[in-house]
């Protein structure tokens, strides 16, 4: 595992922005969820019902298996019409085994998690089951998940058995804490997800998703613990959240489009990634993505697009803008030679096309000399890359540099390090060396824009 390297404050200083957009405190939960043991409670509005899992046998002591109580409450909620709340009450810990929650439902359900849901600690519980899933929701429309509570994947034993922690271990799958598959009009908000066995929150084949006011936490050494994973999903907004994990804070992969990410604090972890795309010669695409207003610190990468050789498809119409970085390795990177394999990857002629990618108002400190890297395919070069107002200084007092291979595009505004793109715009103002005593001329507006965007929800 690569150790983190920290910046010298004498070289470059970035004000640490404390983002106070964490999940709603459980103490603030409406006491209406504390229900009598009636099994079903109707509120004043005829079509609104509240069901507590405690009324269906859940102990909430963290020791007894409360899975069946959850399933029974869900079954009833799904069968009713109107607006239904299924509640995990505050102050209790509910042990839930791998569970399959299906739709469609007649009702519009709010799953209010005000207490804590924990996974079994022992991976043996998954014997004979799908080891990629813990809390699995599928085919449910108009679902809201909130409540200010916690979802704890208890992933420590899974991490210890991972081949990425110990290379002598066999490589096996591990569960994603919460998976939403083929869901529409979904809201996930005001929750804390911690220590997932693998990924924390995954959206696959979904439409019209809003994920907001989340706190996602796992140690930096935890393997493959992506914060939010978006796959084959259209119309996604992820905003106002803090993500600190051992892998990508947010990953966007195959056949996803219309994704908007804003007001995110990320780090530690692997940054924000598009891809990987094209593994095993697959055709995959990601398009129409905006990443706007992000603070990255102590991450292995900043904003990244990664594709495998031999694949096909495209990554297109992607914008990274108004981003602050502190002690970030590989702040800006496009890699069409990505290879996450125990064995060397073969050279291939085909590639996923990378085109029309913009990097605008990105500032901060790089933990590596090569602050900008565009490593593109010989057969399918990167086209339409665009840089504007970039200032990435070294953490350690030296120079930063750009690397380009088969990378074509244009740039404008202040650029440090200077661009290496071919066919660049004549209006570029190239910086010839580091200036320790001052920010770039455009920094005031860019910094203010970032700070306002990220801290609006404090």
CA atoms lying within 13 Å on the CB side of residue 368:
20
What is the SS3 assignment for 228? strand
The b/e string for 82-95 (b: 16+ C-beta within 10 A; e otherwise) is: ebbbbbbbbebbbb
How far is CA 96 from each of CA 65, 69, 134, 150, 342, rounded to the nearest angstrom?
6, 9, 9, 13, 35
Quick one: which H or E segment has residue 372? strand 370-375
How far is CA 104 from each of CA 133, 138, 181, 220, 455, rounded to the nearest angstrom?
20, 8, 12, 38, 38
Which two tokens mark 357?
């990618």
Helix, strand, coil share (%) of the chain residues, nearest 5:
10, 45, 45
Which two tokens mark 275?
């891809």
**What does DSSP say about strands 283-297 and 312-328: parallel, antiparallel, or unpaired?**
parallel
Which residues are part of the catalytic machinery?
Answer: 270
Quick one: which H or E segment has residue 178? strand 176-181
H-state helical runs in 243-297: none
Contact (Cβ atoms closer than 8 angstroms) between residue 100 and residue 126:
no
Residue 410, phi-psi category: left (phi > 0), alpha (psi -120 to 50), beta (remainder) = beta
The dihedral sign for the CA sequence 209, 215, 220, 225? negative
What is the SS3 assignment for 15? coil
Q: What DSSP string describes 153-168?
A: --THHHHHT-TTT-TT
């Amino acid at each position: 595992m690569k150790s983190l390297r920290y910046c010298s404050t004498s070289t470059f200083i970035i004000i640490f922005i404390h983002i106070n957009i964490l999940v709603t405190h459980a103490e603030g939960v409406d006491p209406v969820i504390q229900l009598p043991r009636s099994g079903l409670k109707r509120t004043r509005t005829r079509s609104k019902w509240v069901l507590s899992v405690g009324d269906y046998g859940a102990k909430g002591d963290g020791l007894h298996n409360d899975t069946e109580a959850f399933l029974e409450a869900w079954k009833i909620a799904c069968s009713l019409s109107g607006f239904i709340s299924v509640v995990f009450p505050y102050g209790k810990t509910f042990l839930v085994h791998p569970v399959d929650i299906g739709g469609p439902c007649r009702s519009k359900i709010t799953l209010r998690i005000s207490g804590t849901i924990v996974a079994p600690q022992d991976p043996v519980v998954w014997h004979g089951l799908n080891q990629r899933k813990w809390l699995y929701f599928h085919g449910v429309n108009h679902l809201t998940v909130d409540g200010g509570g916690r979802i704890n994947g208890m992933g420590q034993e899974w991490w210890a058995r991972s081949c990425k922690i110990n290379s002598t271990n066999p490589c096996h799958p591990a569960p994603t804490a919460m998976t939403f598959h083929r869901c529409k009009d979904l809201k996930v908000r005001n929750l804390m997800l911690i220590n997932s066995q693998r990924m924390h929150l995954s959206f696959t084949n979904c439409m019209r998703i809003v994920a907001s006011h989340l706190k996602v936490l796992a140690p930096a050494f935890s393997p493959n613990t992506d914060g939010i994973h978006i796959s084959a999903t259209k119309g996604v907004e992820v905003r106002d959240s803090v993500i600190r994990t051992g892998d990508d804070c947010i990953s966007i992969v195959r056949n996803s489009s219309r994704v908007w990410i804003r007001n995110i604090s990320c780090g530690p972890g692997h940054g924000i990634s598009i891809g990987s795309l094209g593994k095993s010669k697959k055709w995959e695409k990601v398009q129409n993505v905006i990443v706007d207003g992000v603070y990255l610190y102590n991450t292995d990468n900043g904003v990244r697009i990664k594709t495998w050789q031999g694949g096909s498809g495209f990554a297109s119409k992607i914008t990274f803008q108004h981003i602050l970085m502190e002690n970030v390795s590989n702040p800006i990177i496009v890699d069409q030679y990505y290879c996450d394999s125990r064995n060397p990857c073969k050279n291939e002629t085909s590639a996923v096309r990378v085109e029309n990618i913009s990097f605008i108002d990105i500032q901060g400190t790089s933990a590596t000399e090569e602050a900008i890297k565009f490593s593109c395919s010989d057969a399918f070069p990167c086209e339409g890359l665009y840089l504007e107002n970039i200032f990435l200084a070294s953490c350690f007092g030296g120079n930063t540099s750009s690397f380009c291979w088969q990378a074509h595009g244009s740039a404008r505004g202040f650029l440090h390090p200077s661009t290496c793109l071919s066919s660049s715009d004549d209006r570029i103002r190239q910086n010839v060396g580091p200036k320790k005593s001052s920010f770039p001329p455009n920094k005031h507006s860019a910094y203010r824009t970032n700070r306002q965007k990220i801290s609006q929800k404090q």
